[in-house]
Amino acid sequence: MRFRLRIEALGMFATFATFALAACSTSTQQSAPAPVRPITTEGTILTPAAQAKADSGRPRYTAADVRFMQGMIGHHTQALTMVALAPTHGGRADVRVLAERIGVSQRDEIALMRSWLVARNETVPDTSASHDHAGMSMPGMDMAGSMMPGMLSAAQMTQLERATGPEFDRLFLTFMIQHHQGAITMVSQLLAVPGAAGNVDIYRFAADVNVDQTTEINRMRVMLAATPSGTPSR
């Protein structure tokens, strides 16, 4: 049945094409010069209708989307500061492996967010400044200078930096759970804004952050429960 319908459809298309060619041949002398049509990056010529459809389908974004990407860059930057301590401070191999994986994924995501902002001529946060224990210009602040959800305070960062061995492992897992929960809160806040995350890139990225960090939180809770004096963070 499907094959017969396909043949009938092809037959109708061929008939239509025949009539179209005949019409074109009788009006060649009177037709105006064909307009120049846009060409895609693949070299394909688009009809005006196709071009209009392509233009209307281009993903748009909102100010909330921009703030989310800018804030998440700073948020991820603090996570990189945290994981950088694991090789020299951590006691357990599984904690060091986890820290390395978090570092790789969040560096990749920072690059993605920076590219997204640059492509739209939006401001890219400066993450080159080191962590400020006074709480000023600290990675993870939004453009208004407010701390993003889940961010570690200056006191918490100092506590983590001074810890070693099992104590570092316990604090690292506890603080990273807090940090990840903050990122999930940021996703929820974005989705609560009318019209936000309508851009397919933003929606896909936010969904990935939510899923990935939820998975890592569950893993870290198990690891924390196996750490001396460790209790799962809620």
**pLDDT at position 144:** 52
Mean pLDDT for the stretch of residues 203-207: 98
pLDDT band for position 52 (50/70/90)?
A: low
**pLDDT at position 231:** 54
Q: Which residue has the higher pLDDT, 175 or 131?
A: 175
Q: At what angle do helices 200-225 and 165-191 cross, to 10 degrees?
A: 150
Mean pLDDT for the stretch of residues 2-23: 42
**pLDDT at position 50:** 62
pLDDT band for position 46 (50/70/90)?
A: low
Ordered by where they begin, the domains of the chain are 63-225 (1.20.1260.10)
Which residues, in sequence order, are CB contacts of 6 under 8 Å at separation 6+? Answer: none
What is d(CA 174, CA 224) in angstroms, rounded to the nearest whole number?
7
Percent of the chain at pLDDT exceeding 70: 65
Express each pLDDT in 175-193 by its tens digit.
999 999 999 999 999 999 9
Phi and psi torsions of 116, nearest 5°: -60, -45
**pLDDT at position 54:** 52
pLDDT band for position 66 (50/70/90)?
A: very high
Question: Which residue do the tokens 């060091």 mark?
Answer: 96
For residue 131, what are its two tokens? 């962590």
Contact (Cβ atoms closer than 8 angstroms) between residue 103 and residue 84: yes
